């Protein structure tokens, strides 16, 4: 499910998501057996399909893409788990804000959890610039994936955020 519709739903997610992502990012570094902090990777143009993955315990996030134009760009990925193990997050972004690559496709997939919230952005916040979200028709959110929508995606991507609910054993 993408961002909830309606004013009150948007306000609730607008307050919840940044706080949840900060908590999840902080806990990722402290989690035993976790890859500490944020991992950097190169997004490479050339039209070939590339992937980058990170795992944390039973959960993983994989970013798969194809891009054209320019030269390699440095991107980052962070995965985290909430203190109560109820949420898994995956954030993928270009720290410089706007990507100058022409993305022909993208998909982020989580394993071990189901997506509760996801958003894609054409520009990531940096300095005085704000996040600029893609239009809802440009991407689609399924149970475990966020991907471009063929024929609607305008080839700009600079950030992806996913918050997924982990399975819980009920007593």
Q: Across residues 102-118, what is the average pLDDT?
A: 98
Q: What confidence score (pLDDT) does residue 37 get?
A: 64
Q: What confidence score (pLDDT) does residue 158 get?
A: 98
Burial of 164 (0-12, 13-18, 19+ CB in 10 A): buried
Model confidence band, residue 11 (pLDDT cutoffs 50, 70, 90): very low
In the numeric block, which tokens belong to residue 72?
Answer: 């390699």
Nearest-angstrom CA–CA distance, 166 and 111:
10
pTM of the predicted model as reported, rounded to 2 decimal places: 0.81
Q: What confidence score (pLDDT) does residue 57 get?
A: 93
Model confidence band, residue 73 (pLDDT cutoffs 50, 70, 90): very high
Model confidence band, residue 2 (pLDDT cutoffs 50, 70, 90): low
Q: What confidence score (pLDDT) does residue 168 get?
A: 76
Q: Across residues 29-49, what is the average pLDDT?
A: 75
Model confidence band, residue 170 (pLDDT cutoffs 50, 70, 90): low
Instruction: Write the secondary structure of the chain as one string of H (helix), E (strand) and C (coil).
Output: CCCCCCHHHHHHHHHHHHHHHHHHHHHHHHCCCCCCCCEEEEECCCCCCEEEEEEECCEEEEEEEEEECCCCEEEEEEEEECCCCCEEEEEEECCCCECCCEEEEEEEEEECCEEEEEEEEEECCECCECCEECCHHHEEECCCEEEECCCCCCCCCCEEEEEEECCCCCC
In the numeric block, which tokens belong to residue 6?
Answer: 């309606």
Residue with tokens 């689609």: 140
Task: List C-alpha distances in Å: 169 to 26, 86, 116.
Answer: 25, 11, 18
Q: What confidence score (pLDDT) does residue 10 get?
A: 44
* The pLDDT of residue 130 is above 80: yes
Model confidence band, residue 19 (pLDDT cutoffs 50, 70, 90): very low
Q: What confidence score (pLDDT) does residue 70 get?
A: 87
* The pLDDT of residue 36 is above 50: no
Nearest-angstrom CA–CA distance, 82 and 31:
10
């Amino acid at each position: 499910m993408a961002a909830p519709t309606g004013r009150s739903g948007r306000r609730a997610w607008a307050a919840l998501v940044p706080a949840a992502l900060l908590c999840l990012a902080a806990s990722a570094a402290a989690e035993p057996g976790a890859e500490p902090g944020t991992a950097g990777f190169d997004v490479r143009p050339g039209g070939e399909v590339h992937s980058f993955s990170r795992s944390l315990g039973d959960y993983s996030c994989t970013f798969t893409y194809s891009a054209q134009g320019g030269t390699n760009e440095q991107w980052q990925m962070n995965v985290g788990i909430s203190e109560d193990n109820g949420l898994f997050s995956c954030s993928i972004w270009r720290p410089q804000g706007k990507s100058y690559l022409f993305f022909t496709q993208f998909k982020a997939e989580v394993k071990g959890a189901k997506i509760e919230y996801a958003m894609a952005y054409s520009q990531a916040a940096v300095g005085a610039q704000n996040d600029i979200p893609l239009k809802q028709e440009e991407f689609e959110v399924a149970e475990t994936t966020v991907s471009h929508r063929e024929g609607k995606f305008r080839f700009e991507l600079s950030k992806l955020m996913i918050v997924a609910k982990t399975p819980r054993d009920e007593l």
